[in-house]
Amino acid sequence: MSRIIAIASQKGGTSKTTTCRNLATVLKEKGYKVLVIDSDNQANLTDCFGIEKPEQLEVTLYDLMEKVIMEEDLPKKEEYIITKEEIDIIPASIKLSDIEIKLVSAMSREYILRTIIDEIKDDYDYILIDSMPSLGLMTLNVLSACDSVLIPATAEYLSAKGLELLLKTIFKIKKRINKNIEFEGILLTMFESRTNLSKDILNMIKNSYGDYIRVFETVIPRSVKVGEANAKSKSIIEYMPNNKAAIAYNNFTDELLNYSDEDSSQIKEVI
Ligand SMILES: Nc1ncnc2c1ncn2[C@@H]1O[C@H](COP(=O)(O)OP(=O)(O)O)[C@@H](O)[C@H]1O
Ligand SMILES: [Mg+2]
């Protein structure tokens, strides 16, 4: 059975895309069959896998969603899935900016992405969906299609109370459109162990939410090499396996996999 994990937060720059890129690589190295879906019109994830000029691709996520909205058949899998480093990718392009407006008037508009995933999910162990930094209709589609949400967060994001809004949205989604949604947990990213802010925030978040949502023990440190790897369309795992962020992404993946179903955070109204 596949597990569908949404990587979400409504703020940009919290390492969503980087986490998706590197988690996919570690899972693949462990022998899992992985699909990643780029649901951000910025197409950063698509870029991180070295897919150039996605606006020239025949079929991207936008086209698939448009077909579902128009009640047309989807093309064959081979026509829209791109494979890089043995990881399957449904790419995005800037065209996806138009999807919100299309979704407004669509029937069952929260379930368009889910319809696409339902057709292919049996082929994968893990499906990771990289989200755009907003809580609009596209993100709603992501949250209604997933089994769980992983929230990468920087100290700044958490201190700005960005998490509360996201959690509230997820509670609403659980009530109304995806009652099985769970929290995968909160992953602290771009962590700077030398600054007190990061440490204070980690403690604060464990105290406030730790009883309800897993806060991963592993934190992803800030390293300029991560940016370099992204710019070269590589995972940090491959680019510099001994880098502290590469090691952290390996440890984080182990933590994620070792978490049993009984432990998984049932979403409760906590705020
Ligand atoms: N651990 C890290 N250390 C240093 N830079 C990072 C790290 N993680 C991400 N970055 C950089 O920070 C920026 C934002 O990361 P990204 O993954 O694109 O965030 P998001 O998808 O949440 O907007 C990118 O330029 C990326 O290369
Ligand atoms: Mg991103």
How remote is the CA of residue 18 from the centroid of ligand 1, in Å? 6
Give the tens place of pLDDT for each residue, 31-69. Answer: 999 999 999 999 999 999 999 999 999 999 999 999 999
Structural domain contains residue 269: no
| Residue range 121-166, pLDDT digits in tens | 999 999 999 999 999 999 999 999 999 999 999 888 777 777 888 8
Position in ligand 1 atom list of the atom nearest CA 21: 17
Domain assignment of residue 58, yes or no:
yes
Pocket test for ligand 1, best of 230, 236, 252 (most atoms within 8 A of CB): 230
Nearest CA to ligand 1 atom 16: 15
In which band, very low, low, confident or very high, does the pLDDT at 249 lie, cut at 50, 70 and 90? Answer: very high
Q: What are phi and psi of 243, to 5 degrees?
A: -65, 150
Q: Does a structural domain hold residue 186?
A: yes
Confidence of residue 193 (pLDDT cuts 50, 70, 90): confident
Q: Count the neighbouring beta carbons within 10 Å of the beta carbon of residue 174.
A: 18
The atom number, within ligand 1, closest to the CA of 11 reads 22
In a domain, 155, yes or no: yes
Please state, rounded to an integer, the average pLDDT across all residues of the chain: 92
CA of 114 to the centre of ligand 1 (A): 27
Residue 270 lies in a domain: no
Residue 35 contacts residue 4 (beta carbons within 8 Å):
no
Give domain status of residue 271, yes or no: no
**In this structure, which residue's CA is closest to atom 24 in ligand 1?**
227
**Helix (H) or strand (E) segment spanning residue 207:** helix 196-209
Q: What are phi and psi of 104, to 5 degrees?
A: -50, -45
- CATH code at 63? 3.40.50.300
The pTM (predicted TM-score) of the whole model is 0.95
Q: Establish if 177 belongs to a structural domain.
A: yes
pLDDT score of 271: 46
Across residues 110-119, what is the average pLDDT? Answer: 97
CA distances from 73 to 12, 202, 255 (A): 34, 47, 39
Residue nearest to atom 15 of ligand 1 (CA): 15
CB 139 within 8 A of CB 235: no
| SS3 call for 48 | helix
Buried b (16+ CB within 10 A) or exposed e, 48-80: bbebeebeebebbbbbbbbbbbeeeebeeeeeb
In this structure, the strands spanning 182-188 and 148-153 are parallel
> Does residue 76 register a pLDDT over 70?
yes
What is the pLDDT at residue 267? 57
Give 194: exposed, middle or buried? Use CB within 10 Å, 0-12, 13-18, 19+: exposed
Question: Span 111-129, mean pLDDT?
Answer: 98
Strand, helix or coil at 176? helix
Residue nearest to atom 11 of ligand 1 (CA): 227
Q: How far apart are CA 182 and CA 264, in angstroms?
A: 7
Q: Is 230 in the pocket of ligand 1 (CB under 6 A)?
A: yes
Ligand nearest to the CA of 16: 1
From 226, 232, 249, the mutation candidate for ligand 1 (largest count of ligand atoms within 8 A of CB) is: 226
Q: Which structural domain range is residue 51 located in?
A: 3-264
Instruction: Read off the pLDDT of each residue in 175-196 and give the average, rounded to a whole number.
Output: 90
Domain membership flag for residue 83:
yes
> How many folded domains does the chain comprise?
1
Give the DSSP letter string of 209-256. Answer: HTTTS-B-S--PBP-HHHHHHHHTT--HHHH-TTSHHHHHHHHHHHHH
Ligand 1 near 190 CB (within 6 A) = yes
State yes or no: pLDDT of 2 exceeds 70: yes
